[in-house]
A and B are shown apart, each in its own frame.
Chain A
Amino acid sequence: MTTAPTPVPTTPAATSPGGGAGASATATTTSPTTSPTTAPAPRRRPLARLGGASWLATVPLLLFFLIGFGLPTIAIVIGAFTTSSDAETGAGQFTFDNLADSVQGGYLTAMLSSLKLSALTALLATALGLPLAQAVVTSRRGWLRQAVLTASGVLANFGGLPLAFAFVATLGNAGEITRLLHLTDHGWSLYSFTGLTIVYLYFLVPLMVLTITPALDGLRTQWREAAQNNRATTVQYWLHVALPILAPSLLGGFVLLFGSAFAAYATAAAMVGATVPLVSRSIADALSGNVLVGQGNLALALSLNMIVVAVLVMAVYLPLQRRSARWLS
């Protein structure tokens, strides 16, 4: 999505008891990866006097959620399985046509292309983000770490339109670098799958750095020293010690990036137009009426497909995140 839930480096809200230099160097994220900084307080008897009425304070949130989130979700599910108002057979008939159409032809291409782009960019960003985060974590310069993490927080939020325009100005057909290096003569085009990949990496790599840094911080020096005392090489240490411990965090990060790239809309919309079909763009097109007569509800079926993918992503991500939080706390 344009406004993906991206973590931002902040000094932890929880003040660490140690304080001093060590504490000022810790960074945490406000993403779903946030691990509990302190253990939750042990459960106690509810306060007798407030116990009865306290649930009232949650009512506004629950009501808002039911209306604001429940109704659209119901609309998507109902709409995906019924004929639209411009259909020949009349509106509201139960049908599987919308779903069937949404996984055929151009829409299938768009879905596959979206999945491919998200998987590729997430994989690349994981592979590139890990060394970068490691370089930052092992650096002896505190300011470097602070600068990179702050910059990552900004860039991870730099999705959407500004990013698209910045890249058009840089590598687009009239972009500065394109003209400087005469890239168009070599067949370069930003408005392609490759171009989009490069642009997506611009906010995915920082997101990965933010996600993986707490995990890298959790790798204890003693583990490395123990491996070295047993005459392990650096490669062996990474293969047999570090990567297995990092695996849940890495996979969790990959899935988060995948979801982020999959939901993104604005960057692609502003940049490539129709040259790279993406499912988020097909939904927007279908919503603005660019569909055949009688397929008005197709957008809702496409949305349902998108939600199914996102649910799968979260179903993988949340358990992984708990697992890595347990290992590295």
Chain B
Amino acid sequence: MAQLTTPARPGRRTVRWWRGAVLLLAGVYFVVPLAASFWFSIDDPQGISFAAYTGLLSAPGFLDSLWLTLGLAVVTVVVLLLLLVPALIAVRLGSPKLRPVIDVLCTLPLVVPPVALTAGLIGVLRWGPDYLMDTPFFQTFVFIQDPDFPLVLVIAYVLMALPLAYRALDAGLRSMDVRTLVEAARNCGASWPRAVFTVVLPNLRGALLNASFLTLALVLGEFTTASILGFQPFPVWIYSVGNSQAHMSVAVSILSLLLTWLLLLLLATAGRERHAKTAAS
């Protein structure tokens, strides 16, 4: 380990001083905007006021957009896992030839920026009224654009989260020998579903959590697609509030940062618990 064997050299003192300076500068750059925006959100001409935080719940549209976003996030996570997990387990067990295909598919969304993906989606959605007016497909187009629960956003979010979730699940599957586990379970007389549900999935828990949290964080902060398509989940609501009530939008920004922080802490804790458990056994 590098830290244990720092060689004693004449230049060492300057090196350590330099390290402190770097860390200090970085600390200032990263902490000041956070501290300043917190101050901004409670700064009031009359003194200090937490009105921006207390007024949130009664702000028009706050709860609606929050519920919409949470709903979208849950559906996205479920759809994503239902699509990815069976496919990834299958390519490891029975169809290794498909593995490069899945690998490419799950990397491809990285080359289409969200704005471009949105443009493509709008292009497809325009086919509805243009060409499919008289067919049953038209109802599908209307259905996925229902403003109460726009499924088209779920499609976009699943695609955006695909590379992230794929990497997370792939890393999880790499760390265990799926084939041996399943063979062992099968030899003990377990059926296929039983082998997958009681042996593979519990071992994959950390990776599943990891993929879910990353997806969740992505959906909670996604603004591009939703705003261009004209729906109003939480991030779009923050934006519209920012135009009229600057204090409240900054307050919500801080809260959403804390939420992301919490999610990632949970993720790290989940990973560590699993780590500790396996290390102890």
| A residues neighboring B (CB under 8 Å) | 1-3, 5, 8-15, 19, 22-25, 28, 30-32, 34, 36-38, 40-41, 43-44, 46-47, 50-58, 60-62, 64-65, 68-69, 71-73, 75-76, 78-79, 85, 91, 128, 131-132, 134-140, 144, 150-151, 153-155, 157-163, 165-171, 174-177, 201-202, 205-206, 217, 219, 221, 224-225, 228, 234, 259, 262-263, 265-266, 269-270, 280, 283-284, 287-288, 299-300, 302-304, 306-307, 310-311, 313-314, 318
Residues of chain B contacted by A23 (CB below 8 angstroms): 275, 279
Known contacts A10-B267, A284-B228; A36 and B114 CB within 8 A of each other: no
CB closest chain-A residue, reference B180: A41
Q: Would you list 7 pairs from A and B whose C-beta atoms are within 8 A, ordered by A residue?
A: A3-B221, A11-B272, A30-B164, A61-B87, A139-B3, A266-B224, A270-B242
> Can you list the 10 inter-chain pairs with the closest CB atoms, starting with the nearest?
A54-B94, A72-B120, A75-B123, A14-B175, A263-B113, A57-B90, A162-B253, A303-B116, A169-B40, A170-B36
Instruction: Give complex CA distance A157, B219 in Å.
Output: 12
Instruction: Give complex CA distance A9, B15 in Å.
Output: 27
Instruction: Give complex CA distance A38, B173 in Å.
Output: 10
Known contacts A10-B271, A76-B123; A60 and B82 CB within 8 A of each other: yes
Q: Is the CB of B94 within 8 A of A68?
A: no
Q: Is the CB of B107 within 8 A of A32?
A: yes
Interface size for B (C-beta < 8 A) is 114
Q: Is the CB of A270 within 8 A of B239?
A: yes
Instruction: Give complex CA distance A318, B114 in Å.
Output: 20
Among B84, B114, B183, B238, which residue has its beta carbon within 8 angstroms of that of A3?
A: B114
Q: Is the CB of A287 within 8 A of B37?
A: no
Identify which of B53-61, B62-70, B255-263 touches chain A.
B255-263
Q: Is the CB of B113 within 8 A of A1?
A: yes
Other A-B pairs beyond A13-B174, A221-B2, 12, CB < 8 Å: A22-B1, A41-B179, A50-B94, A78-B123, A161-B223, A166-B253, A177-B36, A201-B29, A217-B2, A266-B227, A270-B242, A307-B116
Shortest CB–CB separation between residue A13 and chain B, in angstroms?
5
Among A161, A174, A280, A299, which residue has its beta carbon within 8 angstroms of that of B113?
A: A280
Shortest CB–CB separation between residue A60 and chain B, in angstroms?
5
Q: Contact flags (1/0) for B1-29 with A, using CB distance below 8 Å?
A: 11101110101000100010011001001
Among B3, B109, B130, B252, which residue has its beta carbon within 8 angstroms of that of A69?
A: B109
